[in-house]
Structure 1
């Protein structure tokens, strides 16, 4: 098996993918591939048998995530007895830990949200620690699930960690624990080091030291984390091989050079130390991967066995899945292994260059190309210029920042030395971050194309591996052909919306607010009608939650970065609160409002600076957006309030007549009936979230809609939709679709015919 373990690891990976995507063709392809290698005498019987045996075992061992199969606890269940597993995460905003329920053998996430007046409440409850057996009183509930396409699915995320439910306790007094585990000492050491760092260095330095040495990035500025994510620099924040290598080299050097231990004993100390360091460094998959690789390398060296890097990586891959069957779902696990695998396979090509700069450029190229399908799968976007930025930033962190962070931790008890290092680091590091931010402002041209289908992702890797093979053999013409094939594959996928005859209209579930997205066939235009937001009750200002959690993920998953027109029905935050956030990140061509819409000079200037055309329309105006005609029916005069002055739009799309009514009231409905006595529609956007101030019976009876769309928040405090409105619609034989029950609602059409689809089952 020496030199062939990667075939077994790849077989396990393909077996998992076939099960995850329910694709038996992938499993069949794996069998054909293995037997082809056997009959072509490239693999022996032992390798084939082990590969099939491991694949079969892990197919039955790795759990398949199905959030529909999770059963809820009985409503009366409010007490659990279990054991705390994993680390206890405590910040000023929340405390959480994982509890293993003794009775159901399931894992639950326990939350406590301290009051602002409470200072470090976890310190008053030292009995809450790893391994403790606890009795907990609280409400057991299912975590929130995704309610929109592209939205982060929190319930599914917890299920990939084996966590089925969550408990929110009102007080830590409701958590009564006793006992602990041996590992608690390691977690307490980590906690001590984190506090020690915060106490002895500046706030900014502490954030970077905690992230790069102790695996805690919670102190880092959110904007910085997002900046690194946009430019594919997030791997720098994950403790991996470089960090582990520095720690091992430093400790091993001290043990040997100071004559503290013999080489033999020093190696055994490192073997015992590496798992401990993995836990102190946060226990993420990347640090486990690096630590286990070093550990196995030392063991093999002591046994006089010579295994290749791909063999060691493959064995570690299999071992980590065996010890944690959920780890395969972890994004860090996937990225860490696929990048390391790509670099090991490409090392011959990388190190043919004598220039260190060129070697770093090649490593950056391989790493970015290896993660491209995963980058698109999780973020729907890719920054091509990140390859070049990585060449600059990675060496800076590798040779300056990370070693300096370890030195700061070592010398932190000596305040004089620490203060000097701290001050120098802040001065230099701020300039580097300013440089990255400048690059982000000037050269931020991301590809927003959505996630690759699994078939195309596999084809991409197939072409890329052949491309790299040809490069290593210096068959440059052949390599160019496969590189061109990769480019064509990505470009064809990127332009797929412009070749598709299918159009969509999506009512996003943004809670108590409106956001409709029209995508015309062949991507002739993308049209928004309203883009609401939540707001803070302290200052009644909109927050970016809806944009970041719903609107942006949806648009990115659809490969949308350009909006041809954004219609704003009226000024309320639940209809326009996300507009400013959209303008900052998207290319919006024009904004359309009524001529009564109140606009401040500041807003007009902001739109103008972003090259947005402002159109203010009135009743009977007709607009052409792409090849879509949109007719304005209201308002016809100033009715005295934002709701009554709502823009009312009529259009025909997918063979259906649509009416978007904003938040108009009964009087405005009557005016529309008086002005357009022959108006009928197929789909009615029910006004004002189903409030009883709208949707009069006469209005419904004349329009005769087949469907009524209600955008309304789940368990909202306004009682929307009003039962009278629902009864009115039902008596008019209107089929009601509502976001509080159905999640996002999408109408997909082709050639004048279409159907509605609900996101929630």
Structure 2
């Protein structure tokens, strides 16, 4: 029946699915490359096929465009009509995550979903939520706010991510006034409670065994697994924890074998496989990759193989989960499935074909992997092969057995096996070194790379053409790794400073790295794992620009919001030398941290020059040894591509006065304002003397210091200086070859 339906389609299912995918991105992304690609494909369709077939395809595409358009309209309408406050919400139990004293979960109210955050008030309350598995109705005192949008170029967009999950707002709960259990209501709700109960059962096992159990069986990883998540990411094998084909094949295959052993005929197994797939999908959180694999498994039993199977899966997914290709996980899941369906190893022995496919798939996915992660670990190919075999043949069966026997006996003795695996991978990561950073390809380069790899697949037997295509692929990768443009970028790292400068030859200078300032001591139960600011902002941006080495890291002074994340940065990038003021070296704690980094450190004073962009940045200040604090900040000045830049660290009024005494004719086009725009910096006399045309302000959104101060902004207006702020505009970048082009994230 399914094959008969396929024959009635005007095109091969995979061709129709590709057209629908291109149309999908036209409607949802509204980007020019998507429109151009769709237009070229449709014109090719007109050229290759009879008008009658094209007309049928046109009506299918028209219906799809209407469907996609309605989804976009509904999403945007829902986003615009969110209430300002909520008093009663439903807590979905399998979304509970606890990190120290921070509780997060998905809440629903009036048919809408919210990402909720709540600071736990006591250890008793924390223990209560840790054991909670029933759906809860909460009466709360809470505010609703928009999620943080994209902050940096090629950076993570939390607001857009939540929208793909059907969530438009963040719920900040100040107080839980009343709490009671309520009915799950739907089969999906019941599965949520079962999944939460299973996750709680897994917590009785010791780490790291419990992390492997929750991750591989139920697709759940909490913040306590962050350290190993970083390790698996560096090794390029974090996808092994994304529940997908391997896991689904194991569990569905096990279920089918049990049914056949119980005497169920092969014809009837399919009928019980569908409800089993729904139950397993719910226990795995209905992630895109799991849903895709389950659909493919059912279609496979209906006789659909390879590309026909994938194409129909894509069409079904448009209906079941319209946002499935707006997430990283969705793109990677379907991308891997496409490459696997595309590759034909039928001429090879079955075992050899499996190993070759495990090697070929990561290579075929390289452009998409780079688009999302900017780096690639060549060792990941071998590790994927080895660990896939280990996971499928040993770990999944062992963890499944341990989980089902846990009510009777805890097989915790096997934890040593997982500890040994973690130690082995940590040692391997140390020996392998850092992943190779390629950079993030632009949309145009990504499309070009995908097309080139497609032609390479089609014409790999033609040696001269194959060689030309390989050279073209390498050329695009080289351009991504080494952008032939100069740039000065103020990175949005929140409350702090970090400015990246690179010239067209590839020389790099990083001024400050930011850092998180801690204001209060917490009790043991309140402590949780946290990411550094650099991990979320600075490091992804540098990797997206293909940076693997920082030639010079200049730390203006010893405040944490300027140098706090220097060890984190050193972990990810090779550093040529660290430049500091002489006064900074009087801070023993700072000096000890520099020594632990094991990098070359050099102190600089006024008069020294740092060559870059066929010009140089001159150190104007400090003039003598200071104390490493705000008014001892290193100040840089230089004419870069005809624009005079002044970078002032946290220099305050007293330091500005000393600076002007020695440079009374200082003229500036672009000023990096001192001390994040505090009223103690950027004095009127200083601004009137240097007369900046544009001022850059680095400050965190809704920061506790209320930076930039209104008084400072009024001074800038009085001297007719335009200003850009990271808290409002995100990252700010000057980029160009001979002249600058100014751009902001938002």
Q: Same fold (TM over 0.5)?
A: yes
Q: Which residue of 2 aligns with 1:481?
A: 467
Instruction: Describe the SS at the equivalent of 2:416.
Output: helix
Instruction: Describe the SS at the equivalent of 1:612.
Output: coil
Segments of structure 1 that go 5 or more residues without pairing to the other structure are 301-305
Q: Which residue of 2 aligns with 1:63?
A: 72
Mapped to 1, the partners of 2:604 and 2:74 lie a distance apart of 50
User: Aligned in 2, Cα 1:713/1:94: closer, same or farther, shift over 3 Å?
Assistant: closer
User: Aligned in 2, Cα 1:168/1:447: closer, same or farther, shift over 3 Å?
Assistant: same
Mapped to 2, the partners of 1:125 and 1:198 lie a distance apart of 13
Matches within 5 A, 1:202-213: 202-213=206-217
Please state if 1:111 is matched with 2:93. no
Q: Which residue of 1 aligns with 2:230?
A: 226
How big is the shift at 1:263? 4.4
Give the conservation status (yes or no) of the 8 Å contact 2:141–2:177: no
Instruction: Describe the SS at the equivalent of 1:658.
Output: strand
Q: 1:433 aligns with which of 405, 414, 422?
A: 422
How big is the shift at 1:701? 2.1
Q: Which residue of 2 aligns with 1:293?
A: 296
Instruction: Describe the SS at the equivalent of 2:222.
Output: coil
Mapped to 2, the partners of 1:412 and 1:30 lie a distance apart of 55
User: Aligned in 2, Cα 1:677/1:68: closer, same or farther, shift over 3 Å?
Assistant: farther
Give the conservation status (yes or no) of the 8 Å contact 1:467–1:482: no
Q: Which residue of 1 aligns with 2:347?
A: 352
Give the conservation status (yes or no) of the 8 Å contact 1:38–1:48: no
Equivalenced residue count is 727
How big is the shift at 1:462? 2.6
User: Aligned in 2, Cα 1:738/1:338: closer, same or farther, shift over 3 Å?
Assistant: closer
How big is the shift at 1:686? 2.2
Please state if 1:460 is matched with 2:449. yes
Q: 2:167 aligns with which of 142, 163, 169?
A: 163
Give the conservation status (yes or no) of the 8 Å contact 1:744–1:759: yes
Q: Which residue of 2 aligns with 1:679?
A: 666
Matches within 5 A, 1:281-320: 281-298=284-301, 300=302, 306-320=303-317
How big is the shift at 1:632? 1.8
Matches within 5 A, 1:539-618: 545-598=532-585, 612-618=599-605
How big is the shift at 1:493? 2.9
Give the conservation status (yes or no) of the 8 Å contact 1:651–1:658: yes
Please state if 1:510 is matched with 2:493. yes
Instruction: Describe the SS at the equivalent of 1:271.
Output: helix
How big is the shift at 1:247? 1.9
Give the conservation status (yes or no) of the 8 Å contact 1:148–1:743: yes
Mapped to 1, the partners of 2:727 and 2:312 lie a distance apart of 47
Mapped to 2, the partners of 1:716 and 1:413 lie a distance apart of 49
Q: Which residue of 2 aligns with 1:622?
A: 609
Instruction: Describe the SS at the equivalent of 2:632.
Output: coil
Instruction: Describe the SS at the equivalent of 1:748.
Output: strand
User: Aligned in 2, Cα 1:489/1:617: closer, same or farther, shift over 3 Å?
Assistant: closer
User: Aligned in 2, Cα 1:526/1:197: closer, same or farther, shift over 3 Å?
Assistant: same
How big is the shift at 1:232? 2.6
User: Aligned in 2, Cα 1:495/1:224: closer, same or farther, shift over 3 Å?
Assistant: closer
Give the conservation status (yes or no) of the 8 Å contact 2:486–2:502: yes
Matches within 5 A, 1:319-334: 319-334=316-331
Mapped to 1, the partners of 2:221 and 2:26 lie a distance apart of 34
Instruction: Describe the SS at the equivalent of 1:120.
Output: helix
User: Aligned in 2, Cα 1:124/1:453: closer, same or farther, shift over 3 Å?
Assistant: closer
User: Aligned in 2, Cα 1:66/1:244: closer, same or farther, shift over 3 Å?
Assistant: closer
Q: 1:4 aligns with which of 8, 12, 18?
A: 12
Segments of structure 2 that go 5 or more residues without pairing to the other structure are 1-5
Q: Could you tell me the TM-score, scaled by structure 2's length?
A: 0.88
Q: Which residue of 1 aligns with 2:336?
A: 339
User: Aligned in 2, Cα 1:398/1:734: closer, same or farther, shift over 3 Å?
Assistant: same
Mapped to 2, the partners of 1:699 and 1:723 lie a distance apart of 17
Give the conservation status (yes or no) of the 8 Å contact 1:618–1:635: yes
Give per-residue Cα distances to partners, 1:243-274, cap 9 Å, x unaligned.
Answer: 22222232332333244x44444442222211
Mapped to 1, the partners of 2:175 and 2:268 lie a distance apart of 49
Matches within 5 A, 1:587-736: 587-598=574-585, 612-625=599-612, 627-639=614-626, 642-736=629-723
The RMSD of aligned alpha carbons is 3.3
Mapped to 2, the partners of 1:413 and 1:26 lie a distance apart of 55
Q: Which residue of 2 aligns with 1:78?
A: 85
Which stretch shifts more, 592-601 or 23-32? 592-601
Please state if 1:18 is matched with 2:18. no
Matches within 5 A, 1:414-453: 414-415=408-409, 418-419=410-411, 422-423=412-413, 425-453=414-442
Q: Which residue of 1 aligns with 2:276?
A: 273
Instruction: Describe the SS at the equivalent of 1:172.
Output: strand
Instruction: Describe the SS at the equivalent of 1:363.
Output: helix
Give the conservation status (yes or no) of the 8 Å contact 1:7–1:51: no
Mapped to 1, the partners of 2:95 and 2:434 lie a distance apart of 40
Q: Could you tell me the TM-score, scaled by structure 1's length?
A: 0.87
Give the conservation status (yes or no) of the 8 Å contact 1:382–1:447: yes
Q: Which residue of 2 aligns with 1:303?
A: none
Give the conservation status (yes or no) of the 8 Å contact 1:12–1:58: no
Mapped to 2, the partners of 1:591 and 1:363 lie a distance apart of 45
Instruction: Describe the SS at the equivalent of 2:363.
Output: helix
Mapped to 1, the partners of 2:559 and 2:297 lie a distance apart of 58
Give per-residue Cα distances to partners, 1:168-192, cap 9 Å, x unaligned.
Answer: 2223335677543132322222222
Give the conservation status (yes or no) of the 8 Å contact 1:533–1:544: no
Matches within 5 A, 1:523-542: 523-538=505-520
How big is the shift at 1:54? 6.0
Instruction: Describe the SS at the equivalent of 2:154.
Output: coil
Which stretch shifts more, 731-740 or 81-90? 81-90
Give the conservation status (yes or no) of the 8 Å contact 2:493–2:537: yes
Tell me: higher relative CO, structure 1 or 2? Use CA pairs within 8 A at least 6 residues apart: 2
Give the conservation status (yes or no) of the 8 Å contact 1:80–1:101: no
Mapped to 2, the partners of 1:552 and 1:687 lie a distance apart of 23
User: Aligned in 2, Cα 1:627/1:616: closer, same or farther, shift over 3 Å?
Assistant: farther
Instruction: Describe the SS at the equivalent of 1:335.
Output: helix
How big is the shift at 1:206? 1.7
How big is the shift at 1:154? 0.9
Give per-residue Cα distances to partners, 1:731-757, cap 9 Å, x unaligned.
Answer: 222223333333322233442x43543
User: Aligned in 2, Cα 1:689/1:337: closer, same or farther, shift over 3 Å?
Assistant: closer
Q: Which residue of 1 aligns with 2:3?
A: none
